[in-house]
Amino acid sequence: MFRHTDYLQFDAKPEKPDPVYAHKLQELIGGAYGEMTVTMQYLFQGWSCRMPGKCKDLIMDVATEEMGHVEMTAIMVARLLEGAPATATTKAAAADPVVGAVLGGMDPQQAIVTGGGPLLADSNGYPWNGRYIVASGNLLADFRANAAAEAQGRVQTARLYNMTDDPGVRNMLKFNLARDTLHQNLWLKAIEELQADGLETTVAPNALFDEEYAEHATSVWHLSDGTAGHEGSWAAAPQPDGMHEFGYLLDPEPLGGPGSASAPDPKLYATYDGKQGEPSGPALGTETGLAGKIKDALT
Amino acid sequence: MFRHTDYLQFDAKPEKPDPVYAHKLQELIGGAYGEMTVTMQYLFQGWSCRMPGKCKDLIMDVATEEMGHVEMTAIMVARLLEGAPATATTKAAAADPVVGAVLGGMDPQQAIVTGGGPLLADSNGYPWNGRYIVASGNLLADFRANAAAEAQGRVQTARLYNMTDDPGVRNMLKFNLARDTLHQNLWLKAIEELQADGLETTVAPNALFDEEYAEHATSVWHLSDGTAGHEGSWAAAPQPDGMHEFGYLLDPEPLGGPGSASAPDPKLYATYDGKQGEPSGPALGTETGLAGKIKDALT
Amino acid sequence: MFRHTDYLQFDAKPEKPDPVYAHKLQELIGGAYGEMTVTMQYLFQGWSCRMPGKCKDLIMDVATEEMGHVEMTAIMVARLLEGAPATATTKAAAADPVVGAVLGGMDPQQAIVTGGGPLLADSNGYPWNGRYIVASGNLLADFRANAAAEAQGRVQTARLYNMTDDPGVRNMLKFNLARDTLHQNLWLKAIEELQADGLETTVAPNALFDEEYAEHATSVWHLSDGTAGHEGSWAAAPQPDGMHEFGYLLDPEPLGGPGSASAPDPKLYATYDGKQGEPSGPALGTETGLAGKIKDALT
Amino acid sequence: MFRHTDYLQFDAKPEKPDPVYAHKLQELIGGAYGEMTVTMQYLFQGWSCRMPGKCKDLIMDVATEEMGHVEMTAIMVARLLEGAPATATTKAAAADPVVGAVLGGMDPQQAIVTGGGPLLADSNGYPWNGRYIVASGNLLADFRANAAAEAQGRVQTARLYNMTDDPGVRNMLKFNLARDTLHQNLWLKAIEELQADGLETTVAPNALFDEEYAEHATSVWHLSDGTAGHEGSWAAAPQPDGMHEFGYLLDPEPLGGPGSASAPDPKLYATYDGKQGEPSGPALGTETGLAGKIKDALT
Amino acid sequence: MFRHTDYLQFDAKPEKPDPVYAHKLQELIGGAYGEMTVTMQYLFQGWSCRMPGKCKDLIMDVATEEMGHVEMTAIMVARLLEGAPATATTKAAAADPVVGAVLGGMDPQQAIVTGGGPLLADSNGYPWNGRYIVASGNLLADFRANAAAEAQGRVQTARLYNMTDDPGVRNMLKFNLARDTLHQNLWLKAIEELQADGLETTVAPNALFDEEYAEHATSVWHLSDGTAGHEGSWAAAPQPDGMHEFGYLLDPEPLGGPGSASAPDPKLYATYDGKQGEPSGPALGTETGLAGKIKDALT
Amino acid sequence: MFRHTDYLQFDAKPEKPDPVYAHKLQELIGGAYGEMTVTMQYLFQGWSCRMPGKCKDLIMDVATEEMGHVEMTAIMVARLLEGAPATATTKAAAADPVVGAVLGGMDPQQAIVTGGGPLLADSNGYPWNGRYIVASGNLLADFRANAAAEAQGRVQTARLYNMTDDPGVRNMLKFNLARDTLHQNLWLKAIEELQADGLETTVAPNALFDEEYAEHATSVWHLSDGTAGHEGSWAAAPQPDGMHEFGYLLDPEPLGGPGSASAPDPKLYATYDGKQGEPSGPALGTETGLAGKIKDALT
């Protein structure tokens, strides 16, 4: 269960309104690596976590903080839109270059749909969606995704930092940058902890190493003609997992046969010249035809 | 420019058709962490890479390989669908439990739309889309995302491995698992290389450390009541970047003021009782009103 | 079955072209509360209506009208785009502030994709989609959604009205505003009628009141620290349904236990330390393990 | 800023696992009218609210509660999936009707992607997205949308209640049903309060009544041939706003002229026979042509 | 403006309910090539048509008919769902193979969301959206898309025809198949008419032939190793436009230089080793740096 | 399996950067008819092709070429963005009309998300998705879709050609235009080849002509009041398939009965007045009620 206070985690007070920047800042609310993504990603990771204890509690701590970042950014957008020329006409924009520059850079839905408030969308107006988050239950895979998300988030925040010189906006972003620094360190540390606790190793999931074809876990296939790819340490060195050596397959050939689909079901009307033999019909339920063989195989 | 051979990178020959498994395997084609995602993610990273040389060439090598994985998986789906009871009626499904079990687990679009072939969608039929990929130009942030994607991909492949006992399907998955192992190691190694070359450090981007509020880059805020979060090494230890110490703020209080939007533009018809003073109108272009001040500030 | 006349329900003749406004007007075509939404929402409500008669006929009357509003708005957009500087270059925009202001505010797809016509998308270019509509079959729930949709539609139309001073555009919007006024009244009246006919009451659906926990249907939980929430009439008064009293739980405590997921299936590779006991495997089909118990329970 | 406790607002303990029901319950998490929608809708309404005080505080109270409902439902899904036959093969499903029935009704991503946890998606696997929410700043329009959302939510919950006989699942739903009853009453009451406070009336927004064409705010247009539409009270009665009378236009004729697009820009290659005169080119920036007239008009 | 009659264009009466087939039939309502697509595609083509007369009138005739096909299919779905075991529990499905087979094949949202009615979505529950339609204003390009859409539509309808033996369902599909036959012929004929009228030729748009590199309009590039591609008539024959000859470039080499991005903007934090020279900063507005040159070039 | 060379199929070198044009050019990368669509459409058609030989090889040749077009266009976008004023502030835009014009026309995500590179999205920032492609297995239907896609692609390219005067950009587009010309001819020729080989005829699929209602495959229904629709050759002429005559039904009447849904399942809470008789309950599994009859019918 959650509780809320109206006091923001950190201040979100622009010195002056800037509706064009309010448009760009949408990326940090509803972009693929915005605050909404880390909030919901961490919440779903916490709710799917199978181990009550330090990991789950950490995830929920950070998730709850991120929810507050959505709030700070949303409030910032609303304030940046104060007094925006939302209802200025095209004529006014054409008559005054300042109005023109501002109108051209505004998000039309921030006026028409929200009346001067934030959207749950990115800086191109595309709505945030639930496929952005990942919560696989495998904590190594998920913490690695978290460290990646915080890195992308800090890169975007740093770019946005350079797009404004408003001291109030920068004040909030200086806080956000610091939290993104911390959180990158945090998830990297949490990965070390998983490994120290013997729960995971270098490769996720920590399983099926006896099943996979070990001989194919070693070499990069050189399939693009740039010649420098094998100059990196990844071309000949022990792999980070301590179990494999890197190699570089400079002139790789396909290992499989030709890739082609088989004779089609005539009732589905794929174009067919019969050269792959009589097509198998959907005969499941009788003993004839390929589908009958499926049934035989299955039962 | 690309070239193609019909020979697959590795074999994709199921021993027997299995239309229900063909449905599940869609996740590896068009899921958020399927082969299509890593293909396009690496291609766009390569095309946006600013440094001709080993990094770009490596990215393009792996990207080109992944394109071949989309192919292998797509061919596998087409073959698993051979002889599927695509046109069996509900009556037939109800009359024969085997047909019923198979029909209930099939993807209707694999019959109606593709005529027995793969979709560019995931195992819930949701289409793959371009917001799944990330190519920020910052290679630390991107390689971390790549390592995370390969980890999720191997977790999903491992789960799917356990959902079939078909030796032909498992044969391909054993190859895929090995490549996912290699690629996780690879991107981790590439991160080490970036750091060894002095191009990036631990935190992405390697910038704005003097600007961000260092005092807020240290402590996890304890905002969820689980008491074990501070038992981890992330509560008190040097941070991986070597520049900060971890801390744990056990009873954090908000640092900001109340989060509220300001007086609205009357022409946008937000409900308002006037208690925050006279609302500022969209007066940009004249010298009166708040918007006039925007103009003053901007020019 | 439908019939169509080329004559518009109302005129849609701008006095002058205005490609920037054509961009904004997309919201009324393909926005979440645009004409397309009410058209398809009412059509699907009519087609799912279980009672031939006055309600269904009313729904179909209004649905058919709304289809004509999509048409009027689409034609208006096409006309507003006449003579737009669609192929003006960036150089031309930079050389002439008027061209610059206009180009900056245009929708690129209205030129590149439709050749100067409307899109089936909103003012951020996001396509209209079928999840915007609701047709539950429960007419109280649906009419309430209709009244809400007409209210949002009129709010957006009113905002757009203020963004133009073209008499021809305003002429059409004056008609639309009036229809939105009528339709809000209409669905509110239709709700009264459902109640007068004894088909529905205040709460949808009119069912399960004996099953739900009545003691939890009374109090707002005070979970956010704003202190004024209980000053409203909703804090202590009879509820509109005449069956409950409002209350305000000022210091609510959780009623449930801790929220945690249980021991994981080892074949799905969630990270696990074993402290919640031996994980239950996917043993459905035998008599051992938890899944066996599922089967026992189910059969 | 938010805080979180691991204790759920209400218990979410199924008596027995039921992976098929876990699939259906996704609708209440990530459906268009699920808990995620009301959470984010209320949060964004609160953050855009222009009036500190009772309305904003109420909105934030309920928003914070709904966040806890997402949590309860997510935990319920994770628990319903315990011991699910996630890795059962098609062969196993075909061999055992119980396994077949369960596998056919499961969500493949709940196994492959989340490892036995909830998705942020609906019961068809479609991800939740930010276009589901509405926060216009106009509280009458928004509260009406809230009452509608709670009505749809209770209808869906009631249907799901009938799809299970598990006492633990029903226990949670009995709580949810009661909260949905309360919240419907609550938003209806809040609308009364807005009207009592003189902030809004019956029609949103409370503006432009002098501008709209009053004569078109009265009559339903009879455009569908069902004859019963005018038997309702909406055909002849005072309208709920007390300002208009209802009417029914039984044989309406179009008021506008033919709807046709004008002569096209030749550089956009619309097919054209020249019969509407010489097409206007993109001449903005000179004084000739239609676009020049745009410029004249604008400046 | 539109008018509607409750009488369907053709009967839509299933002999018996079949909720599994109701799920599949969604493809014809809201699939990428379903009735909704052709309806909206033709409407938007009509509204963007620049030539009042036979073409526009034809488009609107067919568009209006297709709207009635959405209706027929929607009604059919509602009727197929009559008496569906919508609230049957998993236990009931496991206990009775018939119930199990039916429940496994049903669309959960057709019960939970619409209460036994159609969705505006396809057979995988993905909502119909406005990007499915095309209305470019170029009638050759659009009529070709129309002929393609009718072909896909008839292929899907034919497949669905084979998935049922209900005489009532087949009755409607026999009508639909015939209309799809007619409409394919119709758009092909309309293309002939455009050509006969001298408005378009074989290639869309009928323009820029003098600008394009004619030498590259002749040969297929042999970039995939299948050896049979040049056995077709497309390898050496006059092209359908009568202006070019086909050729087959058996061993094509790239014509361009290496594809690489240039030195990055340092304020955007792309990883960079400086080897492509000093990066150009965002100096637009001054006379120095690359961006200054942009400005010079533009003004 | 694929191989890649860094050398582009054709040069992609703009003479000068132009970030506004980089925004528009996104349409050719990730638009519904951009290079990504034809690439993936042809690949999936090839992988689903049932006939090894000339058709499949041709499809794969062209698919592989198109992949290289995605690359050329992506590289072009990256180069057009060089030195863009990505971090210019709103203040700078307002102070300098040139900066203002450029900033207003830029894609914010090309700076914030990709750091000056291409997106996998269209010119409105909407991501490319897998529902854009079609691969039905029926080659007539698919080749017709291909010819249509190339036509739309050439129309859009031609429009974009007119939006720039940069010789380097035009150089690439002149190549693209020529390829689009060739590919339109190519797919038209391939359709002739399918027909010459006796695999398909004029109507797709080449089946069910004896089943469909031939009498309904003849006449256009005149449902829109434009009077010129029957002046075209499609009103009275042999149809292209040589099997039917065109006709024009000038005053068509509905052939079906009223479209209404039947009595609802009471457990789904559709509003109902009982006038269509006792509603049938979900009784599947017993012998009573309508659902029992379903079971009877099915078994």
Confidence of residue F278 (pLDDT cuts 50, 70, 90): confident
- Is the predicted pLDDT of residue E284 greater than 70, yes or no? no
* pLDDT of the residue at C299: 55
- Least CB–CB distance from A269: residue in F86, F107, F205: F205
* pLDDT of the residue at A299: 55
- The better pLDDT of the pair B124, D281 is held by B124
- Bridge-based pairing of strands F2-4 and F219-221 is unpaired
* pLDDT of the residue at E147: 98
Q: How far apart are CA A282 and CA A275, in angstroms?
A: 19
State the amino acid at position E162 in one-letter form. N
Residue C259, phi then psi, degrees to nearest 5: -95, 105
Residue of B nearest to E222 (CA): B3
* pLDDT of the residue at A98: 87
Least trusted range by pLDDT, from A138-147, A275-284, B39-48: A275-284
Q: How far apart are CA D148 and CA D130, in angstroms?
A: 18
Residues B280, A82: C-beta atoms closer than 8 Å: yes
Sort out which chain A residues have CB atoms less than 8 A from B265's CB and list them: 83-84, 86-87, 115-116
- Least CB–CB distance from A159: residue in E159, E162, E269: E269
Residues B6, A267: C-beta atoms closer than 8 Å: no
Confidence of residue E287 (pLDDT cuts 50, 70, 90): very low
Among C271, C272, C273, C280, the residue to mutate for chain A (most A Cβ within 10 A):
C271
Task: State mean pLDDT over F76-85.
Answer: 94
Q: Considering chain F, what percentage of its residues have pLDDT values greater than 70?
A: 93
- Is the predicted pLDDT of residue C287 greater than 80, yes or no? no
Sort out which chain D residues have CB atoms less than 8 A from E105's CB and list them: 104
Instruction: State whether residue C4 is helix, strand or coil.
Output: strand
Task: State mean pLDDT over B166-181.
Answer: 98
Q: Considering only CA atoms, which of E155, E162, E150, E178 is closest in space to residue F212?
A: E178
Cβ–Cβ < 8 Å for A184, B28: no
CB proximity C108 to D under 8 Å: no
* pLDDT of the residue at A293: 55
For F176-195, the pLDDT digits (tens) are 999 999 999 999 999 999 99
Among D43, D49, D50, the residue to mutate for chain B (most B Cβ within 10 A):
D50
- Least CB–CB distance from B162: residue in C155, C162, C267: C267
Task: State mean pLDDT over E271-278.
Answer: 88
For E69-91, the pLDDT digits (tens) are 999 999 999 999 998 889 999 99
Closest Cα in chain C, distance from residue B189 (Å)? 24
Sort out which chain A residues have CB atoms less than 8 A from B95's CB and list them: 285
Taking every pair of C-alpha atoms in chain A, what is the biggest distance, in angstroms? Answer: 80
- Least CB–CB distance from C159: residue in B159, B162, B268: B268
Residues E8, F256: C-beta atoms closer than 8 Å: yes
Task: State mean pLDDT over A186-212.
Answer: 97
Task: State mean pLDDT over A128-133.
Answer: 98
- Is the predicted pLDDT of residue C283 greater than 50, yes or no? no
- Those of residues 136-175 in E touching chain C at CB distance below 8 A are 136-138
- Is the predicted pLDDT of residue D81 greater than 50, yes or no? yes
Sort out which chain A residues have CB atoms less than 8 A from B52's CB and list them: 226, 228
Least trusted range by pLDDT, from A147-156, D151-160, F266-275: F266-275
Sort out which chain E residues have CB atoms less than 8 A from B200's CB and list them: 271
Residue of A nearest to E163 (CA): A267
Closest Cα in chain C, distance from residue B110 (Å)? 22
Q: How far apart are CA D113 and CA B156, in angstroms?
A: 6
Closest Cα in chain F, distance from residue D226 (Å)? 10
CB pairs under 8 A between A and B: 506
Task: State mean pLDDT over D133-157.
Answer: 98
- Is the predicted pLDDT of residue B101 greater than 90, yes or no? no
* pLDDT of the residue at A227: 82
Sort out which chain F residues have CB atoms less than 8 A from C1's CB and list them: 223, 254, 256
- Is the predicted pLDDT of residue B184 greater than 90, yes or no? yes
Task: State mean pLDDT over B226-240.
Answer: 93
Q: Is the dihedral of CA F281, F285, F287, F291 positive or negative?
A: positive
Sort out which chain F residues have CB atoms less than 8 A from E7's CB and list them: 254, 256-259
Pull the structure tokens for residue B43: 């291609």
Q: Is the link from the previous residue into C205 a cis peptide, with omega within 30 of 0? A: yes
CB proximity F1 to E under 8 Å: no
Sort out which chain A residues have CB atoms less than 8 A from C105's CB and list them: 90, 93, 103-104
What are the Cα distances from residue C56, in Å, to B218, B269, C139, E5, F268? 63, 33, 10, 12, 18
DSSP code per residue over chain D: -EEE-SB-SS----SS--HHHHHHHHHHHHSTTSHHHHHHHHHHHHHH-SSTTHHHHHHHHHHHHHHHHHHHHHHHHHHHTTT--TT--HHHHHH-HHHHHHHHTS-HHHHHTTSSS--SB-TTSPBPBGGG----S-HHHHHHHHHHHHHHHHHHHHHHHTT---HHHHHHHHHHHHHHHHHHHHHHHHHHHHHHTTS--SSSSS--TTTS-GGGSSEEE--B--S-GGGSGGGSSB-TTSS-B-EEESS----S-B----PPPGGGT----STT-SPPP--BTBSSHHHHHHHHHH-
* pLDDT of the residue at B97: 86
- Those of residues 9-28 in B touching chain F at CB distance below 8 A are 9
Residues E232, F18: C-beta atoms closer than 8 Å: no
CB proximity D292 to A under 8 Å: no
- Is the predicted pLDDT of residue E198 greater than 60, yes or no? yes
Q: How far apart are CA A124 and CA B253, in angstroms?
A: 35
Q: Does ipTM exceed 0.90?
A: yes
For A4-57, the pLDDT digits (tens) are 999 999 999 999 999 999 999 999 999 999 999 999 999 999 999 999 999 999
Residues F129, B127: C-beta atoms closer than 8 Å: yes
Q: Considering only CA atoms, which of D14, D75, D119, B228 is closest in space to residue C275?
A: B228
Task: State mean pLDDT over B26-52.
Answer: 97
Residues F68, B136: C-beta atoms closer than 8 Å: no
* pLDDT of the residue at C291: 52
Task: State mean pLDDT over D215-242.
Answer: 94
Residues E47, C117: C-beta atoms closer than 8 Å: yes
Helix (H) or strand (E) holding E35: helix E35-48
Subunits with at least 3 CB pairs below 8 A relative to chain C?
Answer: A, B, D, E, F
Confidence of residue F97 (pLDDT cuts 50, 70, 90): confident
Average pLDDT for chain B: 93
Residue of A nearest to F139 (CA): A271
Q: How far apart are CA F32 and CA C127, in angstroms?
A: 12
CB pairs under 8 A between A and D: 155
- Is the predicted pLDDT of residue B59 greater than 90, yes or no? yes
- Is the predicted pLDDT of residue E12 greater than 50, yes or no? yes
- Those of residues 36-75 in B touching chain F at CB distance below 8 A are 36, 40, 43-44, 47-48, 60, 63-64, 67-68, 70-71, 74-75
For E145-188, the pLDDT digits (tens) are 999 999 999 999 999 999 999 999 999 999 999 999 999 999 99
- Those of residues 194-233 in B touching chain F at CB distance below 8 A are none
Subunits with at least 3 CB pairs below 8 A relative to chain A?
Answer: B, C, D, E, F
* pLDDT of the residue at E278: 76
Confidence of residue D289 (pLDDT cuts 50, 70, 90): very low
Confidence of residue F294 (pLDDT cuts 50, 70, 90): low
Confidence of residue D278 (pLDDT cuts 50, 70, 90): confident
Task: State mean pLDDT over C230-246.
Answer: 95
Helix (H) or strand (E) holding B110: helix B108-112
- Least CB–CB distance from A138: residue in C156, C224, C269: C269
Sort out which chain B residues have CB atoms less than 8 A from D193's CB and list them: none
- Is the predicted pLDDT of residue E233 greater than 50, yes or no? yes
Task: State mean pLDDT over E212-220.
Answer: 97
Among C50, C56, C122, C187, the residue to mutate for chain F (most F Cβ within 10 A):
C50
For E237-269, the pLDDT digits (tens) are 999 999 999 999 999 999 999 998 989 999 999
Q: Is the dihedral of CA F137, F140, F143, F144 positive or negative?
A: negative
Average pLDDT for chain D: 93
* pLDDT of the residue at B280: 63
* pLDDT of the residue at D199: 96
Residues E260, F220: C-beta atoms closer than 8 Å: no
Eight-state DSSP code of residue A147: H
Average pLDDT for chain A: 93
- Least CB–CB distance from E162: residue in A155, A159, A267: A267
Subunits with at least 3 CB pairs below 8 A relative to chain F?
Answer: A, B, C, D, E
- Is the predicted pLDDT of residue A288 greater than 60, yes or no? no
Closest Cα in chain A, distance from residue E273 (Å)? 15
Sort out which chain B residues have CB atoms less than 8 A from F78's CB and list them: 47-48
pTM: 0.95
* pLDDT of the residue at F257: 93
CB proximity E100 to F under 8 Å: no
CB pairs under 8 A between E and F: 502
- Is the predicted pLDDT of residue D147 greater than 60, yes or no? yes
Least trusted range by pLDDT, from C80-89, C241-250, D67-76: C80-89
Residues F138, A165: C-beta atoms closer than 8 Å: no
* pLDDT of the residue at E298: 58
Q: Considering only CA atoms, which of D98, B191, F65 is closest in space to residue A184?
A: B191
- Least CB–CB distance from D7: residue in A1, A68, A95: A1
